[in-house]
Every structure is written in structure tokens, then in C-alpha cells.
């Protein structure tokens, strides 16, 4: 069950080299929490053991002090001491004391009953050699004892010293610690079972938004691009992912819409010339005609084919310029020269229309540009300006440096473009004036190509226009471009 759910969380969990995030999280949670539990219980156990030791040591020392006082009080009355020892051992149940008093010759003056049975007295004496403080000793019966050996002087008048051997039974302490150990193991065992479960639950909960994002993503196809990930209520990390994902979908949807609109436009634009060719040829072949008539039909078909070729060329240019990669062949160009060349090229046409075409360049402006492409872009702008001009109008070409940028302007005093058409003039196949026939207006790709070329140069193009007073198109290129 656990593994199946894991696989559900991450469909790739089974692939080599791809660890499941939930699995990793679970493993780390388990490890971390288990370590914490182990450390906590271990420390508690050690603390308890330490405290118990201290308590037994304190009681041992206390008892020693009692005996000393007794011996001093009674002035070496070994009988009194003996009674005291007997009473003590008879009364105590929980913590059993063993006391043995030896005189200077080593003969036992008093011994707690059963001490020789429970404890190995020779070992006690042996262990005491060179051990000034409290020490640990095992008994033959297996129970551990804590013991101390001290010397005391029973009477200030007597020169001999007695030896006091004292031991305390640690069985109860061991029982307490043993019970504690059972608890420790129980807690650890519980943690071992509990931690992975909790870790897994946390990991699953934490990765749930991810699964939901993946689920949404899996369902999105080109026809359901309007679906979005609902990122509300998700933790901030996933919400950010969701938002980025949504933004990507937004862009995808937009470019898909543009693409399908574009395809429809292409089909439409191709349909007209093909229809003309087909119709003209069909009608011409319907009956016999004079050579002049044939010539006329053929010439017309040729014109339509040329228009088709140009349309295809423009479309290919746009398509190619959108594919990634640097398409520019940059050279260092005098932009003023570029403008005067353009003026020369269009001069005859402008003169014939009664339009004055001028190019003005302040200081010499140089830029690293693709000459052929920029020429084409600016040529399209001049063509466009000419199309909106009539006798008496003027077109001015101007290039100048502006901050860190190069600004090229094509300004005309022609008929202008309406405010509602203005934002769309750079769209493909868009014609500001629907009444203008294709013969005079081209396919409506001219400005789209301009924009694409400027974008390729890393620049921007802006258009402003007022009905009746003219249009200004500004191409802004980065200086380094």
C-alpha cells in the first residue's frame, strides 16, 4: 500500500536515477525524528542512572557519618555499635545496608547479619585496598553493591583504629533502571513504527499541490490551453510554481491563438491569387482565342504568381526570423548614409507623386546592424509613408543618437492612421484601410516585417499618428546593436 501510494505520488519513482521526492522526504523525516527520540530517551535514562547513583552514594556517606558519630559517642563501645547495626539492617527494607566493624587486629567487632552470605568479605577487603572513596563491587549472588571502607578512631585515649566496611545493596536501583530501559526500548520501537508513518503523511501532504499541478499539466493539450492551475491556498513555493506555469500557459495560449489566426489569414491570402490564376486559365481555355488574348491571360497569371512568390517569401522571412538563433549579419554601418541611399531610391517615386522626401542626419550615426535587413525595414516604412501621402505632403527621414540608443524616425505629413487601427498596424495581414485593395496595399505584411527586423536587432518600434496630420514611426535600436 505504502509503495503503491508512493508510486502514485511520483509516477517516475520506478525509473532509475529518479528518486521520489515523497520517498526522500519520508526517509529524512524518519531518520531525523528517530534520532531525536533516541537522544532524548537515552539522555533521560543516563540522567536517571546518575541521580540514582548519587542518592545511594549520599545515603552511604550519611550512614558512615551516623556510625562515626555513634562510635565517638559511645567511646568505643562495640556492643552499642553492634546493636545499632542490627537494628538498622532489620528495619531497612528498601535499601539494604551492610556494616562490618573490624578492630585493629582485623577481628570483626560487629557484622550485619547475612553480610558474609551476601557479600564476599575477602573481595570487599581486597577491593578496599588503595580505594579511598566509594567503589562498586559485585557479589557472588550477582547483585551489585556500592561500598566504602573507612578508618575511625573509637576513643581519643586509645591508639588503635577500627576499620569500617560498609556496602549498600543496589538491587532496587537496578530494578528501577531496568524498568526505565524497558520504557526506552518501548518508546524507540514506537518511534520506529510511528516516524515513517508521520513522515510519509507529511511528505504526501507537502507534495500534494505538486501532484495537482502535474495532474493539471497532464490534462492540458492544445485544445484545452485555457485551463489554469488554481494556486490559491497552496504553500508559497508551489504557488510561485503555479503562477509561473499559468503565465507560461497564458503565453502559449496567446501564441496558439495568433498562430491559428495567422494560418487562416495565410490561407485566405493564398486563395485569392490562386483563384485568379485558376479562373483566368480555365476561362481562357474554354474556347479558342487570339494570340493577344492568350498573351494577356498568361501575363496576368504571371503577375499573380509573382505576387504569390513575394507573399511566400515574406511569410518565410517572418517564420524564420522567429526561430531562435542569431539571424543577423551585422556590419558597422553609417546610418546617415543608409537613409540618404533610401532617399535616392525612393526619390523618383516621391517626386512623381509631388511628395518631398528628405533625409537629415545630425552627427554621423554609426551602428552595428544587418544592412540588408535594416534597409528592408526602413524601405517598408518609406513605402508605407508614401502610400499615405498625396501631392504636397512631405516625408522626413532622420537618424540621431539619443542617450545610449539610436533613434531612426520616418515622419510624414500624410493622411495618418485612425486611433483604433494604430495598435494593430504591426500585426500580420492587418491593413489599416480595408478598402485599399491588395494591389496598392500589398499583403499587409510590410510593417510586421519591420517589427520583426527591429526585434531581431534588439530594438523597439513605435508609431504615433493623427488623422489628417501625419504619422511618425520611430525605430529605436540599442547603441551596441
For residue 441, state whether it binds another protein (rule: CB under 8 A).
yes
What's the residue count for the chain?
Answer: 481
With contact defined as beta carbons under 8 Å apart, do 191 and 34 qualify? yes
Of 77, 280, 303, 368, the one binding another protein by CB under 8 A: 303
Looking at beta carbons only, is 89 or 300 nearer to another protein? 300
Question: Of 472, 6, 448, 433, whose CA–CA distance to 203 is shortest?
Answer: 6
DSSP-H helix ranges across 390-437: none
Distance between CA atoms of residues 297 and 276, nearest Å: 10
**Judging by DSSP bridges, how do beta strands 331-334 and 144-152 pair with one another?**
unpaired
Looking at beta carbons only, is 87 or 306 nearer to another protein? 306
Region near another protein per CB under 8 A, out of 5-13, 47-55, 293-301, 390-398? 293-301
For residue 34, state whether it binds another protein (rule: CB under 8 A).
no
For residue 386, state whether it binds another protein (rule: CB under 8 A).
yes
Of 199, 242, 416, 442, the one binding another protein by CB under 8 A: 442
**Closest distance between another protein and the C-beta of residue 407, in Å?**
22
For residue 319, state whether it binds another protein (rule: CB under 8 A).
no
For residue 293, state whether it binds another protein (rule: CB under 8 A).
no
For residue 302, state whether it binds another protein (rule: CB under 8 A).
yes
**Closest distance between another protein and the C-beta of residue 356, in Å?**
16
Distance between CA atoms of residues 152 and 473, nearest Å: 116
Helix (H) / strand (E) element for 273: namely helix 236-286
Q: For helices 291-322 and 446-456, give the axis angle rounded to 10 degrees.
A: 30
- Phi and psi based region of residue 325 (left: phi greater than 0; alpha: psi -120 to 50; beta: remaining): left
Looking at beta carbons only, is 352 or 420 nearer to another protein? 352
For residue 349, state whether it binds another protein (rule: CB under 8 A).
yes
Distance between CA atoms of residues 374 and 367, nearest Å: 11
| Cross-strand bridge partners of residue 357 | 395
Interacting residues of 9 by C-beta distance below 8 A, sequence separation 6+: 20, 21, 22, 204, 207, 211
Size of the site for another protein (CB under 8 A): 33
For residue 299, state whether it binds another protein (rule: CB under 8 A).
yes
Of 254, 372, 423, 458, the one binding another protein by CB under 8 A: 372
Residues forming the site for another protein (CB under 8 A): 299-303, 305-306, 308-310, 312, 316, 320, 341-342, 344-346, 348-349, 352, 371-372, 375-376, 379-380, 383, 386-387, 441-442, 446
Amino acid at each position: 500500500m505504502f509503495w503503491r501510494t508512493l508510486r502514485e505520488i511520483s509516477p517516475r519513482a520506478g525509473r532509475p536515477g529518479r528518486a521520489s521526492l515523497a520517498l526522500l522526504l519520508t526517509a529524512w523525516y524518519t531518520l531525523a525524528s528517530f534520532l531525536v527520540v533516541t537522544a532524548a530517551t537515552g539522555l533521560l535514562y543516563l540522567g536517571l542512572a546518575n541521580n540514582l547513583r548519587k542518592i545511594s552514594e549520599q545515603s552511604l556517606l550519611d550512614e558512615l557519618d551516623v556510625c562515626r558519630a555513634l562510635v565517638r559517642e559511645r567511646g568505643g563501645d562495640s556492643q552499642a555499635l553492634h546493636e545499632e547495626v542490627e537494628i538498622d539492617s532489620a528495619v531497612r527494607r528498601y535499601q539494604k545496608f551492610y556494616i562490618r566493624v573490624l578492630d585493629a587486629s582485623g577481628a570483626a567487632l560487629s557484622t550485619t547479619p547475612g553480610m558474609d552470605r551476601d557479600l564476599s568479605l575477602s573481595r570487599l577487603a581486597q577491593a578496599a585496598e588503595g580505594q579511598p572513596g566509594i567503589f562498586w563491587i559485585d557479589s557472588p549472588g550477582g547483585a551489585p553493591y556500592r561500598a566504602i571502607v573507612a578508618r575511625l578512631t573509637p576513643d581519643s585515649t586509645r591508639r588503635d583504629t577500627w576499620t569500617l566496611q560498609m556496602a549498600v545493596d543496589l538491587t532496587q536501583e537496578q530494578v528501577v533502571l531496568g524498568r526505565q530501559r524497558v520504557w526506552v526500548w518501548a518508546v524507540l520501537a514506537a518511534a520506529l513504527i510511528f516516524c515513517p508513518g508521520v513522515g510519509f503523511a507529511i511528505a504526501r501532504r507537502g507534495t500534494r499541490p505538486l501532484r495537482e499541478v502535474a495532474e493539471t499539466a497532464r490534462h492540458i493539450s492544445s485544445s484545452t490551453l485555457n485551463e489554469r492551475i488554481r494556486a490559491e491556498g497552496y504553500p508559497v513555493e508551489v504557488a510561485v510554481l503555479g503562477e509561473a506555469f499559468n503565465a507560461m500557459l497564458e503565453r502559449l495560449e496567446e501564441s496558439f491563438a495568433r498562430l491559428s489566426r495567422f494560418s487562416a489569414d495565410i490561407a485566405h491570402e493564398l486563395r485569392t491569387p490562386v483563384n485568379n490564376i485558376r479562373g483566368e486559365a480555365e476561362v481562357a481555355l474554354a474556347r479558342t482565342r487570339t494570340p493577344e488574348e492568350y498573351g494577356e491571360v498568361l501575363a496576368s497569371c504571371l503577375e499573380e504568381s509573382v505576387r504569390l512568390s513575394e507573399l511566400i517569401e515574406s511569410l518565410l522571412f517572418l517564420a524564420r526570423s522567429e526561430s531562435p538563433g542569431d539571424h543577423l549579419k551585422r556590419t558597422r554601418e553609417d546610418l546617415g548614409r543608409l537613409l540618404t541611399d533610401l532617399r535616392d531610391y525612393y526619390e523618383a517615386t516621391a517626386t512623381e507623386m509631388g511628395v518631398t522626401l528628405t533625409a537629415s542626419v545630425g552627427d554621423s550615426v554609426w551602428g552595428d546592424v544587418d544592412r540588408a535587413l535594416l534597409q528592408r525595414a526602413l524601405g517598408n516604412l518609406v513605402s508605407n509613408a508614401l502610400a499615405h501621402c498625396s501631392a504636397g505632403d512631405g516625408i522626413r527621414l532622420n537618424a540621431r543618437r539619443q542617450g545610449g540608443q539610436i533613434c531612426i524616425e520616418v515622419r510624414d505629413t500624410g493622411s495618418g492612421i485612425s486611433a483604433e487601427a494604430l495598435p494593430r498596424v504591426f500585426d500580420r495581414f492587418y491593413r489599416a484601410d480595408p478598402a485599399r485593395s491588395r494591389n496598392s496595399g500589398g499583403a499587409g505584411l510590410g510593417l510586421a516585417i519591420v517589427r520583426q527586423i527591429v526585434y531581431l536587432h534588439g530594438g523597439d518600434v513605435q508609431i504615433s499618428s493623427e488623422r489628417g496630420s501625419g504619422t511618425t514611426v520611430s525605430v529605436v535600436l540599442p547603441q551596441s546593436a
